[in-house]
A = this chain, B = another copy of it.
Amino acid sequence: MSNVEIKGIATAFPEELGKWVSNEDIYNLKYGADWKTKLLDIGIDKNYIEDKWGFSKRFWVHTPGHVLTENEATSVDMMYHAIKNALHDAELLPEDIDLLISVTTTSPRYTSSTATYVGGQLGMKCASFEMKTGCASNLYAMTLGFLSLQSGLKNVLIVSAETFSKIADFNTNQVFAGGDAAAAVVLSRVEKNGSKLLLSYLDSDGHYASMYGVQGALPPTEKAIKNNEYLMLMAPKATAYMNQIWEWLPDKLYRHANIKPEDVDCFIPHQSTKKTVLLATEKANIPTEKVVNVVSEYANCGAVSSLLALHKAIKSETIKKDDLLMMSVVGGGISWGGLLIRV
Protein backbone atom coordinates (compact mmCIF):
# COMPACT_ATOMS: atom_id res chain seq x y z
CA MET A 1 0.00 0.00 0.00
CA SER A 2 1.36 3.40 -1.05
CA ASN A 3 -0.73 5.24 1.44
CA VAL A 4 1.67 7.15 3.70
CA GLU A 5 2.80 10.70 3.20
CA ILE A 6 5.61 12.48 5.00
CA LYS A 7 3.29 15.36 5.71
CA GLY A 8 5.72 17.49 7.68
CA ILE A 9 9.23 17.40 9.06
CA ALA A 10 11.22 19.85 11.15
CA THR A 11 14.22 20.21 13.41
CA ALA A 12 14.58 22.37 16.52
CA PHE A 13 17.67 24.09 17.90
CA PRO A 14 16.01 26.94 19.81
CA GLU A 15 18.48 29.73 20.57
CA GLU A 16 16.78 30.40 23.90
CA LEU A 17 17.52 26.83 25.04
CA GLY A 18 21.16 26.41 24.08
CA LYS A 19 24.10 27.55 22.03
CA TRP A 20 26.16 26.47 19.02
CA VAL A 21 29.64 25.35 20.03
CA SER A 22 32.63 24.98 17.69
CA ASN A 23 35.61 22.66 18.17
CA GLU A 24 37.64 25.77 19.04
CA ASP A 25 35.11 26.65 21.76
CA ILE A 26 35.61 23.20 23.28
CA TYR A 27 39.41 23.46 23.18
CA ASN A 28 39.00 26.80 24.90
CA LEU A 29 36.86 25.17 27.60
CA LYS A 30 39.33 22.33 28.08
CA TYR A 31 42.63 24.22 27.89
CA GLY A 32 41.79 27.88 28.46
CA ALA A 33 42.36 30.95 26.29
CA ASP A 34 45.86 29.84 25.24
CA TRP A 35 44.53 26.49 23.98
CA LYS A 36 46.40 26.81 20.68
CA THR A 37 49.76 26.84 22.44
CA LYS A 38 48.71 24.02 24.77
CA LEU A 39 47.62 21.84 21.84
CA LEU A 40 51.01 22.42 20.19
CA ASP A 41 52.73 21.51 23.46
CA ILE A 42 50.89 18.21 23.81
CA GLY A 43 51.07 17.46 20.11
CA ILE A 44 47.39 17.64 19.18
CA ASP A 45 46.40 18.93 15.75
CA LYS A 46 43.52 21.39 16.19
CA ASN A 47 41.88 19.99 13.05
CA TYR A 48 42.05 16.40 14.30
CA ILE A 49 38.41 16.23 15.44
CA GLU A 50 37.05 17.57 12.17
CA ASP A 51 39.43 15.59 9.98
CA LYS A 52 38.96 12.27 11.74
CA TRP A 53 35.38 12.38 13.07
CA GLY A 54 33.84 15.09 10.94
CA PHE A 55 32.46 17.20 13.78
CA SER A 56 32.80 20.96 13.36
CA LYS A 57 29.99 22.25 15.58
CA ARG A 58 27.13 21.08 17.76
CA PHE A 59 24.23 22.54 19.76
CA TRP A 60 24.47 22.31 23.54
CA VAL A 61 21.89 23.05 26.24
CA HIS A 62 24.52 22.34 28.92
CA THR A 63 28.26 22.73 29.21
CA PRO A 64 29.82 19.29 29.82
CA GLY A 65 31.98 19.12 32.91
CA HIS A 66 29.77 21.66 34.70
CA VAL A 67 27.28 20.81 37.42
CA LEU A 68 23.77 20.18 36.09
CA THR A 69 21.25 22.82 37.07
CA GLU A 70 17.47 22.74 37.10
CA ASN A 71 17.11 25.70 34.75
CA GLU A 72 18.80 24.06 31.80
CA ALA A 73 16.71 22.89 28.90
CA THR A 74 15.73 19.22 28.70
CA SER A 75 14.98 16.78 25.90
CA VAL A 76 11.29 17.50 26.53
CA ASP A 77 11.85 21.25 26.08
CA MET A 78 13.59 20.47 22.81
CA MET A 79 10.75 18.14 21.73
CA TYR A 80 8.22 20.89 22.37
CA HIS A 81 9.80 23.10 19.71
CA ALA A 82 10.29 20.25 17.25
CA ILE A 83 6.61 19.30 17.48
CA LYS A 84 5.50 22.92 16.97
CA ASN A 85 7.77 23.24 13.95
CA ALA A 86 6.66 19.93 12.43
CA LEU A 87 2.97 20.71 12.92
CA HIS A 88 3.55 24.08 11.24
CA ASP A 89 5.33 22.34 8.38
CA ALA A 90 2.51 19.81 8.06
CA GLU A 91 -0.14 22.54 8.37
CA LEU A 92 -1.78 20.54 11.14
CA LEU A 93 -2.95 21.33 14.67
CA PRO A 94 -2.11 19.36 17.82
CA GLU A 95 -5.63 17.90 17.81
CA ASP A 96 -5.09 16.41 14.34
CA ILE A 97 -2.53 13.92 15.69
CA ASP A 98 -3.81 10.41 16.51
CA LEU A 99 -0.58 8.96 17.86
CA LEU A 100 2.46 10.67 19.35
CA ILE A 101 5.64 8.56 19.62
CA SER A 102 8.46 10.19 21.54
CA VAL A 103 11.96 8.87 21.04
CA THR A 104 14.84 9.68 23.37
CA THR A 105 17.62 7.98 25.28
CA THR A 106 18.05 11.11 27.44
CA SER A 107 14.72 11.73 29.11
CA PRO A 108 14.62 14.35 31.90
CA ARG A 109 12.33 12.14 34.01
CA TYR A 110 12.41 8.62 35.42
CA THR A 111 8.95 7.05 35.49
CA SER A 112 7.13 9.48 33.18
CA SER A 113 6.72 9.14 29.44
CA THR A 114 8.19 12.13 27.62
CA ALA A 115 5.30 11.76 25.16
CA THR A 116 2.59 12.72 27.63
CA TYR A 117 4.97 15.21 29.23
CA VAL A 118 5.52 17.17 26.03
CA GLY A 119 2.07 16.45 24.60
CA GLY A 120 0.48 17.96 27.69
CA GLN A 121 2.38 21.19 27.16
CA LEU A 122 0.91 21.44 23.67
CA GLY A 123 -2.61 20.43 24.64
CA MET A 124 -2.36 17.19 22.66
CA LYS A 125 -4.85 14.47 23.55
CA CYS A 126 -4.11 11.28 21.66
CA ALA A 127 -2.51 7.87 22.03
CA SER A 128 1.10 8.43 23.05
CA PHE A 129 4.12 6.52 24.25
CA GLU A 130 7.87 6.87 24.63
CA MET A 131 10.22 4.33 23.10
CA LYS A 132 13.92 3.70 22.65
CA THR A 133 16.41 1.26 21.28
CA GLY A 134 19.57 3.34 20.94
CA CYS A 135 20.42 5.30 17.81
CA ALA A 136 18.25 3.03 15.65
CA SER A 137 15.13 4.12 17.56
CA ASN A 138 13.68 6.27 14.80
CA LEU A 139 13.80 3.47 12.23
CA TYR A 140 11.74 1.45 14.67
CA ALA A 141 9.43 4.39 15.39
CA MET A 142 8.88 5.06 11.68
CA THR A 143 8.04 1.38 11.16
CA LEU A 144 5.52 1.53 14.00
CA GLY A 145 4.18 4.73 12.43
CA PHE A 146 3.62 3.04 9.06
CA LEU A 147 1.95 0.03 10.79
CA SER A 148 -0.32 2.32 12.80
CA LEU A 149 -1.43 4.25 9.72
CA GLN A 150 -2.21 0.99 7.96
CA SER A 151 -4.38 0.02 10.93
CA GLY A 152 -6.53 3.09 10.36
CA LEU A 153 -4.93 6.09 12.06
CA LYS A 154 -4.73 9.32 10.08
CA ASN A 155 -1.73 11.23 11.48
CA VAL A 156 1.22 9.92 13.50
CA LEU A 157 3.79 12.34 14.91
CA ILE A 158 7.23 11.02 15.84
CA VAL A 159 9.29 13.41 17.93
CA SER A 160 12.84 12.76 18.97
CA ALA A 161 15.31 14.67 21.12
CA GLU A 162 18.66 14.08 22.77
CA THR A 163 20.61 16.15 25.26
CA PHE A 164 23.97 14.40 25.15
CA SER A 165 25.75 17.50 26.49
CA LYS A 166 24.54 16.41 29.93
CA ILE A 167 26.18 12.98 29.75
CA ALA A 168 29.26 13.78 27.64
CA ASP A 169 32.54 13.04 29.38
CA PHE A 170 34.43 16.34 29.46
CA ASN A 171 37.73 14.54 30.03
CA THR A 172 37.72 12.50 26.83
CA ASN A 173 37.41 13.32 23.14
CA GLN A 174 33.82 12.17 23.47
CA VAL A 175 32.96 15.71 24.53
CA PHE A 176 33.36 16.69 20.86
CA ALA A 177 30.94 13.99 19.70
CA GLY A 178 27.76 14.61 21.65
CA GLY A 179 25.29 17.04 20.16
CA ASP A 180 21.86 18.08 21.40
CA ALA A 181 19.00 18.16 18.93
CA ALA A 182 15.32 17.64 18.34
CA ALA A 183 13.38 16.75 15.24
CA ALA A 184 9.86 15.62 14.45
CA VAL A 185 8.13 14.06 11.49
CA VAL A 186 4.42 13.74 10.72
CA LEU A 187 3.38 10.62 8.81
CA SER A 188 -0.13 10.79 7.39
CA ARG A 189 -2.40 8.34 5.64
CA VAL A 190 -3.40 9.34 2.14
CA GLU A 191 -5.73 7.67 -0.34
CA LYS A 192 -3.18 7.31 -3.14
CA ASN A 193 0.22 8.40 -4.47
CA GLY A 194 1.75 8.12 -1.03
CA SER A 195 5.02 6.60 0.03
CA LYS A 196 5.43 2.87 0.46
CA LEU A 197 7.56 1.10 3.03
CA LEU A 198 9.10 -1.59 0.84
CA LEU A 199 11.19 -3.11 3.60
CA SER A 200 11.77 -2.68 7.30
CA TYR A 201 14.52 -4.86 8.70
CA LEU A 202 15.01 -4.34 12.45
CA ASP A 203 17.30 -6.34 14.68
CA SER A 204 19.34 -6.17 17.89
CA ASP A 205 21.88 -8.05 19.94
CA GLY A 206 22.31 -7.12 23.58
CA HIS A 207 25.52 -9.07 24.00
CA TYR A 208 27.39 -5.84 24.79
CA ALA A 209 24.44 -3.97 26.33
CA SER A 210 26.03 -3.64 29.75
CA MET A 211 29.23 -2.18 28.27
CA TYR A 212 27.64 0.66 26.34
CA GLY A 213 25.72 3.72 27.47
CA VAL A 214 25.38 5.43 30.84
CA GLN A 215 26.46 2.94 33.51
CA GLY A 216 25.05 4.54 36.66
CA ALA A 217 22.13 2.84 38.35
CA LEU A 218 18.57 4.14 38.38
CA PRO A 219 17.06 5.19 40.69
CA PRO A 220 20.27 7.20 41.13
CA THR A 221 22.66 6.99 44.06
CA GLU A 222 25.00 9.64 45.48
CA LYS A 223 27.86 7.16 45.22
CA ALA A 224 27.34 6.71 41.49
CA ILE A 225 27.15 10.50 40.97
CA LYS A 226 30.44 10.93 42.85
CA ASN A 227 31.96 8.19 40.64
CA ASN A 228 30.86 10.06 37.48
CA GLU A 229 28.80 7.06 36.42
CA TYR A 230 26.10 9.14 34.72
CA LEU A 231 28.33 9.83 31.74
CA MET A 232 28.23 8.10 28.38
CA LEU A 233 30.53 5.12 28.03
CA MET A 234 31.33 3.71 24.61
CA ALA A 235 33.02 0.35 24.81
CA PRO A 236 35.55 -0.22 22.00
CA LYS A 237 34.42 -3.87 21.75
CA ALA A 238 30.85 -2.76 21.09
CA THR A 239 31.98 -0.19 18.50
CA ALA A 240 34.02 -2.85 16.73
CA TYR A 241 30.99 -5.13 16.64
CA MET A 242 28.87 -2.31 15.20
CA ASN A 243 31.39 -1.80 12.41
CA GLN A 244 31.13 -5.49 11.57
CA ILE A 245 27.38 -5.14 11.10
CA TRP A 246 27.90 -2.47 8.44
CA GLU A 247 29.84 -5.09 6.45
CA TRP A 248 26.72 -7.10 5.64
CA LEU A 249 23.76 -4.83 6.45
CA PRO A 250 23.40 -3.12 3.02
CA ASP A 251 23.58 -6.43 1.13
CA LYS A 252 20.94 -7.89 3.41
CA LEU A 253 18.63 -4.96 2.63
CA TYR A 254 19.27 -5.26 -1.12
CA ARG A 255 18.66 -9.01 -1.08
CA HIS A 256 15.46 -8.83 0.98
CA ALA A 257 14.01 -6.04 -1.16
CA ASN A 258 15.33 -7.56 -4.37
CA ILE A 259 17.05 -4.35 -5.48
CA LYS A 260 20.54 -3.27 -6.52
CA PRO A 261 22.69 -0.44 -5.11
CA GLU A 262 22.06 1.60 -8.25
CA ASP A 263 18.30 1.51 -7.57
CA VAL A 264 18.81 3.63 -4.45
CA ASP A 265 18.29 7.36 -5.11
CA CYS A 266 19.10 8.62 -1.63
CA PHE A 267 20.94 6.93 1.23
CA ILE A 268 20.77 8.11 4.84
CA PRO A 269 23.27 6.14 6.94
CA HIS A 270 23.63 6.68 10.67
CA GLN A 271 25.20 10.08 11.35
CA SER A 272 27.38 9.14 14.31
CA THR A 273 30.75 10.15 12.80
CA LYS A 274 32.21 10.90 9.39
CA LYS A 275 33.95 7.52 9.60
CA THR A 276 30.62 5.74 10.00
CA VAL A 277 29.06 7.60 7.07
CA LEU A 278 32.06 6.72 4.90
CA LEU A 279 32.05 3.08 6.03
CA ALA A 280 28.30 2.72 5.44
CA THR A 281 28.57 4.43 2.04
CA GLU A 282 31.40 2.15 0.96
CA LYS A 283 29.69 -1.04 2.11
CA ALA A 284 26.43 0.04 0.49
CA ASN A 285 28.30 0.70 -2.73
CA ILE A 286 26.49 3.99 -3.27
CA PRO A 287 28.09 7.11 -4.81
CA THR A 288 28.74 9.93 -2.33
CA GLU A 289 26.47 12.38 -4.11
CA LYS A 290 23.45 10.23 -3.17
CA VAL A 291 24.45 10.09 0.51
CA VAL A 292 23.20 12.55 3.11
CA ASN A 293 25.76 13.74 5.66
CA VAL A 294 24.94 16.15 8.51
CA VAL A 295 27.70 15.06 10.91
CA SER A 296 29.65 18.28 10.41
CA GLU A 297 26.62 20.44 11.19
CA TYR A 298 25.25 18.73 14.30
CA ALA A 299 27.84 16.16 15.54
CA ASN A 300 26.38 12.89 16.89
CA CYS A 301 22.79 13.46 18.01
CA GLY A 302 22.05 9.78 18.61
CA ALA A 303 18.53 8.69 17.79
CA VAL A 304 17.66 12.15 16.40
CA SER A 305 20.38 11.93 13.72
CA SER A 306 18.38 10.00 11.15
CA LEU A 307 15.53 12.52 11.35
CA LEU A 308 17.99 15.43 11.04
CA ALA A 309 19.37 13.84 7.89
CA LEU A 310 15.89 13.03 6.56
CA HIS A 311 14.91 16.65 7.15
CA LYS A 312 17.91 17.88 5.20
CA ALA A 313 17.28 15.43 2.36
CA ILE A 314 13.65 16.52 2.02
CA LYS A 315 14.17 20.26 2.40
CA SER A 316 17.17 20.29 0.03
CA GLU A 317 15.19 18.15 -2.44
CA THR A 318 17.88 15.47 -2.38
CA ILE A 319 14.85 13.18 -2.10
CA LYS A 320 12.11 13.70 -4.63
CA LYS A 321 8.74 12.05 -5.17
CA ASP A 322 9.04 8.42 -6.33
CA ASP A 323 12.71 8.19 -5.29
CA LEU A 324 13.93 5.09 -3.50
CA LEU A 325 15.17 6.11 -0.05
CA MET A 326 17.37 3.83 2.04
CA MET A 327 17.91 4.60 5.72
CA SER A 328 20.12 2.47 7.92
CA VAL A 329 21.45 2.72 11.45
CA VAL A 330 23.70 0.60 13.63
CA GLY A 331 23.73 2.02 17.12
CA GLY A 332 23.83 1.48 20.86
CA GLY A 333 22.04 -1.50 22.26
CA ILE A 334 23.35 -2.88 19.97
CA SER A 335 20.31 -2.28 17.83
CA TRP A 336 20.23 -1.79 14.08
CA GLY A 337 18.05 -1.77 11.03
CA GLY A 338 17.27 -0.50 7.60
CA LEU A 339 14.26 0.96 5.84
CA LEU A 340 13.60 1.08 2.13
CA ILE A 341 10.92 3.60 1.25
CA ARG A 342 9.55 4.37 -2.20
CA VAL A 343 8.89 8.05 -1.60
Contact = CB atoms under 8 A, between A and B. Distances in A.
Nearest to A68: B221
A246 to B, nearest CB: 17
Interface residues of A, number: 71
A109 interface: yes
A232 interface: yes
Given A204-B127, A207-B120, A214 B133 contact: no
A68 B215 CA distance: 15
Nearest to A105: B111
Interface in A77-132: 99-100, 105-113, 115-121, 124-132
A212 interface: yes
Interface stretch (A11-19, A276-284, A317-325, A329-337): A329-337
Interface stretch (A51-59, A140-148, A185-193, A307-315): A140-148
7 contacts: A68-B221, A106-B219, A107-B218, A108-B218, A109-B213, A116-B134, A125-B203
Contact of A134 (B113, B137, B216): B113
Given A107-B218, A219-B230, 7 more contacts: A70-B221, A108-B217, A112-B213, A115-B133, A127-B337, A147-B151, A167-B219
A41 interface: no
